[in-house]
Chains A and B, each alone.
Chain A
Amino acid sequence: MRQFATIRCTINGRDTETSVDVRASLADMLRGEYRLTSVKKGCEVGECGACNVIIDGECYNSCIYMAIWADGKNIRTVEGLEGPGGELSEIQRLFVEEGAVQCGFCTPGFLMTATAILESAQGGQKYSRDDLRRELSGHLCRCTGYENILRAVEKAVSRTLP
Chain B
Amino acid sequence: MFDFEAVYEAKSVAHAVELRVRHPEAKILAGGSDILIETRAGKLAGCSVISIFKLDELRGVSMDGDGTLRIGALTSFSHLTRDPLIGRCIKVLGEAAGTAGGPQLRNIGTIGGNVCNGVTSADTASTLMAWDAVMEYAGPRGVRRAPMREHYVKAGVVAIAPDEILTSILIPRDSYERCFGCYIKYAMRGAMDIATLGCSVNVRLSGDLGTVERMRAAYGVAAPVPVRGFSAESVANGQPVSPETINSAAAAALSDVNPRSSWRASRELRLQLAEELTRRAFRESVIRAGGIL
Contact = CB atoms under 8 A, between A and B. Distances in A.
Contacts of A137: 102-103, 190-192
A61 B104 contact: yes
A64 B33 contact: yes
B187 interface: no
Contacts of B51: 66, 68-69
Contact of B53 (A23, A61, A66): A66
A107 B113 CA distance: 30
B2 A46 contact: no
A127 B286 CA distance: 29
Nearest to A53: B104
Nearest to A71: B54
A23 B191 contact: no
Contacts of A5: 9
Interface in B27-51: 29, 32-33, 36-37, 40-41, 51
Contacts of B9: 5, 22, 68
A70 to B, nearest CB: 10
A60 B104 contact: yes
A64 B192 contact: no
Nearest to B29: A66
A97 interface: no
Contacts of B293: none
B6 A1 contact: yes
Given A64-B32, A64-B36, A49 B3 contact: no
B108 A61 contact: yes
A64 B108 contact: yes
Nearest to B3: A23
B107 interface: yes
Given A69-B51, A69-B54, A137-B191, A23 B1 contact: yes
B104 A49 contact: yes
B265 interface: no
Contact of B2 (A23, A47, A58): A23
B78 A23 contact: no
Interface of B: 1-4, 6-7, 9, 29, 32-33, 36-37, 40-41, 51, 53-54, 78, 101-105, 107-108, 190-192
18 contacts: A3-B6, A22-B7, A45-B37, A45-B41, A46-B36, A49-B102, A52-B104, A58-B78, A59-B104, A60-B108, A69-B51, A134-B190, A134-B191, A135-B103, A137-B190, A138-B102, A138-B104, A139-B102
Given A23-B1, A45-B37, A138-B101, 9 more contacts: A3-B6, A24-B1, A25-B1, A58-B107, A66-B32, A68-B51, A134-B190, A137-B192, A138-B104
